[in-house]
Amino acid sequence: MKFKHTSVLLHETIDNLKPKNGGLYVDATFGGGGHAKYLLSKIDSGTLIGFDQDEYAIQAAKLNFADLLKDESDPQLKLVHDNFSHLEENLVKLGYSDSIDGIYYDLGVSSPQFDQADRGFSYRYNARLDMRMDQSQDLDAYELVNTRSQKELADILYQYGDEKFSRQIAHRIVERRKEQPIKTTFELVDIIKDAIPAYARRTGGHPAKKSFQALRVAVNHELDVLKASLEEAIKVLRPGGRISVITFQSDEDKIVKGIFKKYSEVEIPRGMPMIPEGLKPTLRLVNRKPITATASELENNKRSHSAKLRVAEKI
């Protein structure tokens, strides 16, 4: 089982965690394990806990990282099949409540998920509308497209995809599904193309790109679970522990930036000679501005073009 995926900002993400022997680390988005492999190469001892809600990714990891999993009493790598919004709950079960030295996130959909045509993530392959990262959840893109109101669909397309033709697309979707349910990715692509004016389709990449992104975010509740997970991640870090987060969308970056700001800045009342313990910041920003890909990486990995990395340290 192969899970080929070129990790973005590989060295920057891991090196900023300052990996150390005997450390305890969390990969919140294990995927193909590219970041995990590099982190483990930096330490001779320690433990990495890898989370992924995609069963395919977990099964691939069990094969590709078998050597690190074989010592069941004390494996160097532990895999958790769950959404990273349940980070703290799973770490408590494993006996790690507030002792994590480093946590990192590589958000978005991995290349293998796009390449699996039957997952319905991509507008390039014809498949049943799905887009679920966790195949056990009930809500999928088919249900979303065929049951939500015109206003709800327009809001999803605009808020999560920044699609300026969201109302026209939502209207076309509702009109088309009156005839019969919209079942496949290509059916949806055709609807989107019909809704967008010809002049707008000539530039800006594939006309369905923004809509497919928006639907994927909505199906998987990506922004809500990110907020919940970051709150838990900060809580379980030990003092001096670090968190690295790679985002690919502006909404994701705003969430990360906002939460890091919330825990790194404090408002001190006038006249107060010293900051009380309860008002002291929890985090220190390692980088004020996001780290982006080098020219070399931009040339070799197109996925890196929109990537932004933010890093913070627990005080």
pLDDT in tens, 234-258: 999 999 999 999 999 999 999 999 9
Distance CA 91, CA 26 (A): 9
Where do the domains of the chain lie? Answer: 10-111+222-314, 113-220
Distance CA 295, CA 276 (A): 45
Residue-level pLDDT at 2: 54
Residue-level pLDDT at 74: 76
- What would be the CATH architecture of the domain defined by 10-111+222-314? 3-Layer(aba) Sandwich (3.40)
Residue-level pLDDT at 5: 65
pLDDT mean over 89-94: 96
pLDDT band at 65 (very low <50, low <70, confident <90, very high): very high
pLDDT mean over 302-307: 91
Structure tokens at 91: 């770490």
Say how many residues make up the chain: 315
Checking if the pLDDT of 123 tops 90, the result is: yes
Is 35 annotated to bind a ligand? Reply is yes
Is 278 annotated to bind a ligand? Reply is no
pLDDT mean over 276-280: 73
206 compared with 112, residue with greater pLDDT = 206
Q: Hey, which residues does 184 pair with through a beta bridge?
A: 128
Is 34 annotated to bind a ligand? Reply is yes
pLDDT band at 113 (very low <50, low <70, confident <90, very high): confident
User: Which fold does the domain 113-220 belong to in CATH?
Assistant: DNA polymerase; domain 1 (1.10.150)
pLDDT mean over 170-191: 98
Residue-level pLDDT at 4: 59
8-17, 61-70, 264-273: the lowest-pLDDT one = 264-273
Is 53 annotated to bind a ligand? Reply is no
Is 212 annotated to bind a ligand? Reply is no
pLDDT band at 266 (very low <50, low <70, confident <90, very high): confident
